[in-house]
Amino acid sequence: MTYELYYWDGLQGRGEFVRLALEEAGAEYIEVARGDEHDGLGTGAMMATMDSKSEPYPPFAPPFLKDGDLLIAQTANILLYLGPRHGLVPGVDSLRYVVNGLQLTIADMVTEAHDTHHPLASNLYYEDQKDAAKVRATDFIEHRIPKFMGYFERVMKQNPAGDAYLVSDALTYVDLSMFQLIDGLYYAFPRAMKTFPKRYPRLAALHDAVLERPRIAAYLESDRRIAHNESCVFRHYPELDKDTR
């Protein structure tokens, strides 16, 4: 069965965490919003699903995934569903709660990364909240990146199965999400992230190892991968990056 992934066209955003899992799994999927109107696809079709008055449990926002009749909303929830179906979770059941807990912590950091450029309101333009964004971005760089990344590095260090992955001794979907989070931060805050590999060597090694996985590498080269850009949660506004002093 071909999955239907619903996410905004033109940006990585939260949809990218799902795409990476689908690509690593070699799963068949279509991107509904990127499809053609004449085929019943496109952004309009995505909005129609969200706004449907007959859908039993409509989603609040993209990304959401359809697998036959099942509609699953929320990034971490989609990954929770896909993980066991594609060998992207540990075999030990209890460790799946560890994976999900880490995934939700990544989600929290993604929200904070978004709020660096939109601290006052998603409804306002960045240009109308630049001063507040500078305060929030500075706090994010000085306090939040070290707090989150120091924690994730420690999880890898204390992983009883070795320090190559976050959980167990094999790749799980949360490793793919960690790659994406780090990659987004490299893009958004290149000056602040300069010392990242030195401060968080295990996380940096994980990021690079994911880059070299054959299916991920092929995906990143393909036209399915959208480049980082300023519509995403990770935006490169040089004035929000670490000041050069």
Residues in contact with its own copies by the rule CB under 8 A = 53-61, 70, 72-74, 76-77, 80-81, 94, 97-98, 100-102, 104-105, 107-108, 111, 115, 119-124, 132, 135-136, 139, 143, 148, 151, 154-155, 158-160, 167
- The residue among 13, 236, 240 whose CA lies nearest residue 133 is 240
Residue number with CB closer to its own copies (92 or 217): 92
Cβ proximity of 76 and 177 under 8 Å: no
Q: Which is nearer to its own copies, 202 or 213 (CB)?
A: 202
Rounded to a whole number of angstroms, the minimum distance from the CB of residue 188 to its own copies is 18
What minimum distance in Å lies between the beta carbon of 10 and its own copies? 22
- Nearer residue to its own copies within complex by CB, 142 or 230: 142
- Tokens 């449907």 found at: 52
Shortest separation between residue 132's beta carbon and its own copies, angstroms: 5
- Kindly state the DSSP code that residue 40 receives in the 8-state scheme: T
First to last CA, the chain: 55
The reply to whether omega before 63 is within 30° of 0 (cis) is yes
CB 140 within 8 A of CB 193: no
Nearer to its own copies, 161 or 211 (CB): 161
Q: Smallest gap, in angstroms, from Cβ of residue 193 to its own copies?
A: 20
CB of 245 to its own copies, least distance (A): 20
Nearest distance in Å: CB 196, its own copies: 19
The nearer residue to its own copies, 75 or 180, going by C-beta atoms, is: 75
Looking at beta carbons only, is 1 or 227 nearer to its own copies? 1
Tell me, letter by letter, the H, E, C secondary structure of 105-138.
HHHHHHHHHHHCCCCCCCCCCHHHHHHHHHHHHH
Closest residue by Cα to residue 202 from 170, 159, 142, 242? 159
Residue 206's Cα: distance from chain center in Å? 15
